[in-house]
Structure 1
Amino acid sequence: MPNPTEPKLMSGNANLPLAKAICRRMSMHRGMTVGLVDARVERFNDQEIFVEVYENVRGEDMFIIQPTSNPANDNLMELLIMADALKRSSAARTTAVIPYFGYARQDRRTKARTPISAKLVANLVAEAGIERVLTMDLHAAQIQGFFDIPVDNLYASPIFALDIQHHMKDKLSDLMVVSPDVGGVARARELAQRIGAPLAIVDKRREKPGEVAEMTVIGDVKGKVCIIVDDICDTAGTLCKAAEVLVENGATEVHSYISHGVLSGPAVERITNSVMKSLVITDSIEPTAAVKACKNIRIVPTAPMFAQAILNIWSGTSVSSLFDHNTLVPIYEGFYGTDV
């Protein structure tokens, strides 16, 4: 049944520009002003988080927009405390919109005596009073099963497909999608099918986290415009090395499409000096000044997709419809025109 009240949005400090962009898109769809709930999310002198909501939210359908990116622990605690504040204020339902879900890389026990932190975070989210989660490109799809509440996992690949068809329309016949590791083949295959391109794999062997000992290209990339697709780019070491290996194997150009630009440490410097012609990321994590200034990093917006997903959840309609090309094109018409 459609909710008779309007959806209300609230944001922490993790990515305010994205939250405001979602409000603007929802205002366009609704034909009325949609703004963030008047609240303060601040810190005491000892860095404890304090939340106060100034508006009445009793019986409202609430959406908290808060990626749990760096600083992950602070942003996660903000999310949990905001959810608790809304629960104690008698909100009818609280949905956590988590564009980037932190701790997702710790989704299994890789060695003895290690945690499964993604499951722990899922438990914390549910216990805080959150009744639904909306996220994008979880590091591992099975993380949805860690939650005992509904989880809607959006995909960046439809947006990437639109971007590729717009910016590389003269090179479509030469494109080859590349997975930077065996574990990301399913993600790369989906994008390859959307743009009608073949698929290659870079097989890597790690000695320890953050270091890659050896890389082998599986597939013929000679004369191809290669598009590396992955969900997370952290220090960019693997990504830049993969680009070098592809060029050594005959690729004419290398571009990368990454869902979540963590880009910590030396990442921006590495990308600037890399053989990659471009790195395209989404705004699921608020980009730093260095990222915005980097000449070969481009940011594509997720606000149109998240705004529509929030409206679909609020009205009780399909969220999976956003995976379809024909549904997404009108939403992004202002960004990519009608040539896709």
Structure 2
Amino acid sequence: MPNYVEPKLIAGNSNTPLATAIARRMSMHRGMSVDLVKARVERFNDGEIFVEVYENVRGEDMFLVQSTSNPANDNLMELLIMADALRRSSASRITAVIPYFGYARQDRRTKARTPITAKLVANMLVEAGVERVLTMDLHAAQIQGFFDIPVDNLYASPIFALDIKEKFKDRLGDIMIVSPDVGGVARARELAKRINAPLSIVDKRREKPGEVAEMTVIGEVKDKICIIVDDMCDTAGTLCKAAELLLSYGATEVHAYVSHGVLSGPAVERITNSVMENLVITDSIAATDPVQNCKKIRVLPTAPMFAQAILNIWNGTSVSSLFETGTMEPIYEGFFRG
């Protein structure tokens, strides 16, 4: 075990409820109170961010919890400035816990004269003093290679598998896992293996970002309960169209499990009016009031998983053990029942 007295948590403003839940869960595991380090994150009149940490963090193992979700630029700058504050306060190690890693969609040059912003963000995090990153369901796995520091990428699929087994326990034989595009096949296949279900693919062709020109279904979905699996849902246009398409191919029901509920613009309204039975997301992004009030959207907690991952990193034990459904089952014991 490292020589640090206790792991210490500090949080930005992007997802305070999740950070508080992680601290509460860590307190349960350790049998002692784990509180968020007191700090203030304020803005000057021109929008500049100011951070002050009120507690001594010298020589401490710091875990900085901050999703870089909407407003992405403000939350990213908060993360960078807080990391710099901790480094200049002589923290022994700074681990950035980023449940939702923004700018991950810009992970390669799709055409001439475009940036690879995910790499730029990786460089900025390292320069700010971050020595390790803990995140969940990166949009593209190769982003881990953009860092020269350790990156632990957790997966929501074990949580989804537990939820599906409980919610559809009498109908598991009728389930068909669906990838909404060819690029997401590996993610959908992973979940399909966990619940022993077949896999189908919606092949979509985009004319420009956010707009789909044509969609077809690869695989037999007739008389199946289709579960669409994706890493993020932004405006929900593609998701709702895919649900309509699956029903036109003979599916009896369509549900969706998405790791990150970005849900910007008309997303909530589209989901409310869609043919989908429900959309299940995680709390990697703090839910807005419209999301919380939408009867078709259900939120699963990630705090038990992140709390265990943080403790494993602090203890120097395996994080990859959390990739297994069997490991997650006792961590989430009793949550999915009732």
Same fold (TM over 0.5): yes
Give the stretch that moved more between structures: 270-279 or 326-335: 326-335
Aligned length: 338
Does 1:66 find its partner at 2:66? yes
2:30 — aligned with what? 30
2:293 — aligned with what? 293
SS of match in other structure, 1:335:
coil
Q: Quick one: distance in 1 between partners of 2:149 and 2:42?
A: 28
1:196 — aligned with what? 196
Does 1:180 find its partner at 2:180? yes
Q: Quick one: distance in 1 between partners of 2:127 and 2:62?
A: 17
For the 8 Å contact 2:62–2:93, the answer to whether it is kept is: yes
Q: Quick one: distance in 2 between partners of 1:11 and 1:260?
A: 19
Q: Where do residues 161-310 of structure 1 align in structure 2 (5 Å cutoff)?
A: 161-310=161-310
Which amino acid in the other structure matches residue 166 of structure 1?
E
Q: Name the % identity.
A: 81
Q: Quick one: distance in 2 between partners of 1:325 and 1:285?
A: 23
Shift of 1:170: 1.2
- Root-mean-square deviation (Å): 0.9
Which amino acid in the other structure matches residue 139 of structure 1?
H
2:96 — aligned with what? 96
SS of match in other structure, 2:18:
helix
For the 8 Å contact 1:15–1:286, the answer to whether it is kept is: yes
In the alignment, structure 1 segments of 5+ residues that lack a partner are: none
For the 8 Å contact 2:4–2:59, the answer to whether it is kept is: no
For the 8 Å contact 2:4–2:61, the answer to whether it is kept is: no
1:332 — aligned with what? 332
For the 8 Å contact 1:107–1:143, the answer to whether it is kept is: yes
Which amino acid in the other structure matches residue 305 of structure 1?
M
2:108 — aligned with what? 108
Q: Quick one: distance in 2 between partners of 1:257 and 1:277?
A: 11
2:311 — aligned with what? 311
In the alignment, structure 2 segments of 5+ residues that lack a partner are: none
In the superposition, the TM-score normalised over structure 1's length comes to 0.98
SS of match in other structure, 2:56:
coil
SS of match in other structure, 2:274:
coil
SS of match in other structure, 1:161:
helix
Shift of 1:3: 3.7
Q: Quick one: distance in 1 between partners of 2:155 and 2:10?
A: 23
Q: Quick one: distance in 2 between partners of 1:287 and 1:265?
A: 14
Q: Quick one: distance in 2 between partners of 1:44 and 1:33?
A: 33
Shift of 1:2: 3.0
Q: Quick one: distance in 2 between partners of 1:140 and 1:199?
A: 20
1:125 — aligned with what? 125
For the 8 Å contact 2:179–2:229, the answer to whether it is kept is: yes
Q: Quick one: distance in 2 between partners of 1:82 and 1:205?
A: 41
Shift of 1:154: 0.1
For the 8 Å contact 1:3–1:315, the answer to whether it is kept is: no
Shift of 1:6: 0.2
For the 8 Å contact 2:139–2:231, the answer to whether it is kept is: yes
SS of match in other structure, 1:133:
strand
Q: Quick one: distance in 2 between partners of 1:39 and 1:237?
A: 39
SS of match in other structure, 2:133:
strand
